[in-house]
Structure 1
């Protein structure tokens, strides 16, 4: 079934185009993060830079929370990404949820992040909503932030592909703290398979809705598991026909015009989901692995070797 959103007059400037090869940019949220399950902060940064370079990725984007910078070492690690050719963008200073924050405070948090970022090399005029929360059911709040971004010449640094990598990092941290044995090979395979499956799901959804494959933007986080296995993920994506592109290229795709104007009952999630919802595409409109109950079952079974608890 092809549900073409060009029929929506407010987004008619994004006409359907013939399907193209699958292209994807890699983006990492929440820098700088604290210690993870397996690596020190320095090890994580060095490994992530090295593995991106070895995989031939010239530019990824790091969406930064400057309010979480606590030391010169935190700043040094962020600068290391820029020195390696990657770029920075705004993720608010302290990572609030828009649906739980008043507009004035939220805009102040955006401005606080911009103050730090504007002094950095490699800064881009992109803003990504923490938790991909664009106000949820509060359309007045959604529109107020859209207006604030436009006033500041900031563009929505939207996501088209999400596989909840943050959940797996947390699951590993909890398992390690509880002294459970973690099968790292199985964990790597689960991480890679989930993200490739999500990429394929969202690309198919986009093709159904707009009639083509847009330049995709994958949401990842600055985690230990990304540092360890980003090369494996890139290899697996390429094996499925994906080309890794820069964030600069991805955010010039006409698909991004929808980020300024989509209208759904609840504004939270990937842009692919929002556009499909607006177009009336039937569920599911989001990747099944973003159900954290299911993701926990996968992790428990495959990584910890545990069978899920049976309900009475």
Structure 2
């Protein structure tokens, strides 16, 4: 994969040519952060069983589950992560306590990663991948580079995303409606959830096609929450109906883009956003329903709250 000539005018450490050969089909892997989450409108055990069952029904061979190890604080929560691994999904590091890098030193952050790695050794299907909480990878260049060096020293791969979403915000609206006893339309919630995530995937696909010579495999950011469990099968069906092929996280992370560490602090929307921004995509254009809380709020009120039509 090679970036377009425009990149040669930018001050990058990326003045490289990526290997060619990736096909241009739309391919996407599903990845879930923040496991194991606590009880919510659903009991945690119920939610994990539903998510695993939904992925299985949809034919998803492998998703990636990024674990916050501090939350493995009971045999029941340990069993939830084991159940993901037993179902064929891969387990990876999302830190021990889910800190913002901006709030701690690089040394403290690396200690977090080390603690989580030690705990994760017990799981089958573990991968040496680390995903930054909040996608907060570069509060400044010094900490960004220190963490990149620290991951390399530990033979840990940066478990980047390419499709940023605020699925967590939609879930928070759902939780509030349930807690407040509000009436809501479950089919409307399903359609909003699946629609905004397909739109997000298409946003990054189009950005890559416009600004990069070749289109990478996409990696979607999701969370282990109730809406993910409720609509896992629906999400896969919606993506496939739109022309997407669901691939494994292993396959997605074999893409040439995996070897590119963009020389930018604009990393909080994922790797495609970083690379297309460096290639000239204007910052104000990085907007779409799935990352705009006000738009999600309005859509939820309009399409979910109240009885179904």
TM-score normalised per structure 2: 0.92
1:172 CA drift (Å): 1.0
Question: Which residue does the alignment assign to 1:10?
Answer: 14
C-alpha contact 1:24 1:245 (8 A) present in aligned 2: yes
C-alpha contact 2:138 2:265 (8 A) present in aligned 1: no
List aligned pairs for 1:154-233, cutoff 5 A. Answer: 154-233=156-235
The 3 A distance-change label for structure 1 pair 11 and 44 is farther
1:10 CA drift (Å): 2.6
SS of alignment partner, residue 10 of structure 1: coil
Question: Which residue does the alignment assign to 2:38?
Answer: 34
CA–CA distance in structure 2, aligned partners of residues 139 and 27 of structure 1: 27
SS of alignment partner, residue 209 of structure 2: helix
Question: Which residue does the alignment assign to 1:269?
Answer: 269
Aligned pair partner of 2:101 in 98, 101, 114:
98
Question: Which residue does the alignment assign to 1:290?
Answer: 291
Question: Which residue does the alignment assign to 2:142?
Answer: 140
CA–CA distance in structure 1, aligned partners of residues 303 and 254 of structure 2: 39
1:285 CA drift (Å): 2.8
C-alpha contact 2:7 2:279 (8 A) present in aligned 1: no
The 3 A distance-change label for structure 1 pair 244 and 102 is same
1:177 CA drift (Å): 1.8
Question: Which residue does the alignment assign to 1:250?
Answer: 252
CA–CA distance in structure 2, aligned partners of residues 103 and 18 of structure 1: 35
1:288 CA drift (Å): 4.0
SS of alignment partner, residue 135 of structure 1: coil
CA–CA distance in structure 2, aligned partners of residues 67 and 11 of structure 1: 40
TM-score normalised per structure 1: 0.91
CA–CA distance in structure 1, aligned partners of residues 288 and 259 of structure 2: 23
CA–CA distance in structure 2, aligned partners of residues 18 and 58 of structure 1: 21
C-alpha contact 1:65 1:113 (8 A) present in aligned 2: yes
What is the CA RMSD across the aligned residues, in angstroms? Answer: 1.9
* Aligned residues between the structures: 301
1:264 CA drift (Å): 2.2
CA–CA distance in structure 2, aligned partners of residues 203 and 73 of structure 1: 39
CA–CA distance in structure 2, aligned partners of residues 190 and 102 of structure 1: 39
CA–CA distance in structure 1, aligned partners of residues 289 and 276 of structure 2: 16
Aligned pair partner of 1:112 in 115, 127, 144:
115
SS of alignment partner, residue 62 of structure 2: coil
1:53 CA drift (Å): 0.8
